[in-house]
Chains A and B, each alone.
Chain A
Amino acid sequence: MQQVVQPGMQPVATTFFFYFLSGLTLVSGVFVITRKNPVHSALALIFGLLAQAGLYLMLYAPFVAGVQIILYAGGIMVLFLFVIMLVNLERSRREEQFNNQWVIGLLAAVALGVLFVIVYVKGKALFPYRIAQPIENSNTQQIGVMLYGQYMFAFEIASLLLLVAIIGAVVMAKKRI
């Protein structure tokens, strides 16, 4: 397979970095759902998000990688950590962390896994090895043009959604309205 890359931007050790970063993502995902202390879960999730930003960089998406680091690892996870520190979890840490739904969880996981395997085996022709010409230099510029041109209505709706979320969060968390 011939990889199409621009001259001067030859990727280095793609295979190694892919397996390293995806392994880091999956291992931290396992830590997120198994740790007893939610702070450990949050730290594992931050590691996973950073590794996933690395995967985005390997997919020639530098803007999404930056947004992932700034917004997810920097913003949303700080929100999570704040709430973990706000609600006193000392008591719940001594309690049982898993409910007795593990049969349902296992069934759902197996069903989803079988579904994914069927889709990926049957639809292999839909996921070709063809790689579009990565336009890394102007990635951010092109995304900006698309956001403010073709997707402008969706962009405005998203800003409205954020406004509603801010007001909703304040109303929910306030003691008396």
Chain B
Amino acid sequence: MAPIGTLHYLVVAAALFILGVIGVLTRRNVVVILMSIELILNAVNLNLVAFSRLWGLHGQVFAIFVITDAAAEAAVGLGILIAFFRNKETVNVDEVDLLKW
């Protein structure tokens, strides 16, 4: 069997990214959509760490920044979700029409 190189990790990250995109585009529940966004960010992180094995530690530092961003995004997104649920009693994205005229 071929030794595990960088390309193997990149293929796994690509598959994870595609899964996240499918989740974002096809699910109705906002919580699951936010989780799919986490999947996408994790795929990017896997890419960064896989490349950092070749080109130094910069990728790992950037992966930590991406995790920070994911935490901020999850906090704000879930806050918006709670505010929205208080108004409309639903968590489905296709019923988010407060700004629609």
Chain A residues with a Cβ under 8 A of chain B:
1, 3, 14-15, 18, 22, 25-26, 29-30, 32-33, 38, 41-42, 45, 48-49, 52, 55-56, 58-61, 63-64, 67-68, 71-72, 75-76, 79-80, 83-84, 86-87, 89, 91-92, 95-99, 101-102, 104-106, 108-109, 112-113, 116, 120, 124, 127-132, 134, 139, 142-143, 146-147, 151, 154, 158, 161-162, 164-166, 168-173, 175
Knowing A64-B64, A146-B58, A173-B83 touch, does A166 contact B75 (C-beta < 8 A)?
A: yes
Chain B interface mostly: helix
Chain B residues with a Cβ under 8 A of chain A:
1, 3-12, 14-23, 25-29, 31-32, 34-36, 38-39, 42, 45-46, 49-50, 52-58, 60-61, 63-65, 67-76, 78-83, 85-86, 90-94
> Does A128 lie within 8 Å of B21, measured CB to CB?
no
> Does B55 lie within 8 Å of A129, measured CB to CB?
no
> Does A105 lie within 8 Å of B25, measured CB to CB?
yes
Bound: A101/B50 CA distance, A: 33
Chain B residues closer than 8 Å to A127, beta-carbon distance: 5-7, 10, 54
Chain B residues closer than 8 Å to A91, beta-carbon distance: 90
> Does B14 lie within 8 Å of A116, measured CB to CB?
yes
Bound: A120/B50 CA distance, A: 14
Knowing A33-B22, A99-B28, A162-B68 touch, does A169 contact B75 (C-beta < 8 A)?
A: yes
Chain A residues closer than 8 Å to B16, beta-carbon distance: 25-26, 29
A26 to chain B, nearest CB (A): 6
Chain B residues closer than 8 Å to A84, beta-carbon distance: 31
Closest to A145 in B: B57
Bound: A80/B94 CA distance, A: 21
Closest to A151 in B: B61
